[in-house]
Structures are given as C-alpha cells and as structure tokens.
Amino acid sequence: MIRSENLRSGYIQEDVEEYIYRLLPERDPVVKEMEDYAEEHRIPIIGPAVARLLALLVQVSGAKRIFEMGSAIGYSTIWLARAVGTQGKVFYSDGDPDKAKRAEVYFRMAGVAKRIEVKVGDALALVKKTPGKFDVIFIDVDKQQYPGALQAALPKLQRGGLIIADNTLWSGKAARPAAADDKDTKGIQEFNRLAYSSKELYPVLIPLRDGVTACRKM
C-alpha cells in the first residue's frame, strides 16, 4: 500500500499506482534519504516516477541549461543535475533559506554540487533576472503562482525548449469547478488554460501521479 503523500495521486486507481511504483528500480542512498526526510517532515517532492520522466525529457532534449522554479530540499534538482551531465547547469530557486541549506548538503552528498547554482528568493523574480535563456524551465512553486510563473518563464525559454510543470491535475481537482476561495486549484486551472491557448507552446498534460504538463516552445 502506498503510504507517502508524495506518491499518491488522488485520482488514479490505487492498484495501478502501486504497480507503477513497484516497477521502479531502487534509488541510490542519497535520493532515498531525501524521500524519507520529505515524508517524515511532510515536504512535497515530485517522487521517483515523475523524477524519471523529468530526467528523460532533459536527456532526450539535450538540455544543458535548466532553471527550476520552486526547489525545496532539492530532490528534483538532483535528478535534473544528473540528467544534464557534467557540462550542464541547473539553477535551484526557493524562498526558504533553511531548505536551500539542506539542499546544498544533499547536492554535495550526491556529487552534483558543481552543476547547481543555488538562488534564494522569489522564483518568479529570480528567473526573470538570471542572465541568459534556458533549455528547460521546471515549475513547482505555490499553485496560485502558476499562471504568473508561466508568464515569467516563457520569455526566458529558448525556442524549442521545454516548460515542465508538476501538479497540473492537482489530485483531480483541476477537472472540477473550484470553490470561490480555492486559489490553488484556480491557479492550476488558469495555468492549464494559458498553456493550451498559447500560440507559442505545444503542451501535453500527462496523468502521471499528480499530473505533469510538458510544453515545447514553438
């Protein structure tokens, strides 16, 4: 039985979800320690199934410069840094300095610290002011910020690059009318609307775990 909230989707049949996670190979000790810490301290992470998809998209796209909007303890950052290779660069961003410090410890443990630049502050502001453009921008900030995150990310993305966003089904709530005070669900719904109505993007919403949207900039 899936016990971690970081693995449960809220809309996929439990036996199907169990099957997906049983297929996954064992993670290395650093990644496993991060998964255990995140579960114990109720810190949201993308989990290994989505992380493998993220790594695959980086590998097949040949991305070398990545900006991560909302990095927490750096779980997805490590998967990105490994996928991008020794010549690549990943920009970590998070508003919590304590999470950033913990993430830096994990980066050193995983042997990828030299590939990662840590930035603390508002991810939307940081992506705008970081020089240059990116091959991949990964969005995992507060859900009510998703529309603004997309608008901040798009001008910073190379043509042919990918914007990838986690939680775009939001436990299935994105498919249903949102309550008047549910800013998170409304944020996800608006993000999805903007992505699919944009003439600059070719989006696909993948119903893996909590929903992952990958958009290629045309």
Region 48-56 average pLDDT: 97
**pLDDT tens digits, one per residue of 64-113:** 999 999 999 999 999 999 999 999 999 999 999 999 999 999 999 999 99
pLDDT digits (tens, 9 = 90+) for 111-133: 999 999 999 999 999 999 999 99
Reading the block at residue 161, the tokens are 């690059």
For the chain, domain boundaries = 14-217
pLDDT of residue 9: 81
Reported pTM: 0.95
Structure tokens at 203: 């989006």
| Secondary element (H or E) of residue 215 | strand 212-217
Among 45, 210, 217, smallest CA distance to 136 is for 217
- pLDDT the model gives residue 3: 58
Residue 48: both structure tokens together: 């290994």
- How much of the chain, in percent, has pLDDT values that exceed 90? 92
Nearest Cα residue to 202 out of 156, 154, 168: 154
Q: How far apart are CA 76 and CA 13, in angstroms?
A: 25
Average pLDDT over residues 189-210: 97
The overall average pLDDT reported for the chain is 95
Asked if residues 139 and 162 have their Cβ atoms less than 8 Å apart, the reply is no
> What pLDDT was estimated at residue 167?
97
3-class state of residue 156 by DSSP: helix
d(CA 171, CA 185): 10
Q: Are 54 and 46 in contact (CB under 8 A)?
A: yes
Residue with tokens 């980066």: 107
Q: What is the pLDDT of residue 145?
A: 98
Return phi, psi of residue 103, to 5°.
Answer: -60, -40
pLDDT at 2 (0 to 100): 52
CATH number attached to the domain at 14-217: 3.40.50.150
pLDDT score of 8: 72
Helix axes 29-40, 97-110, angle to 10 degrees: 160
Mean pLDDT of 166-192: 97
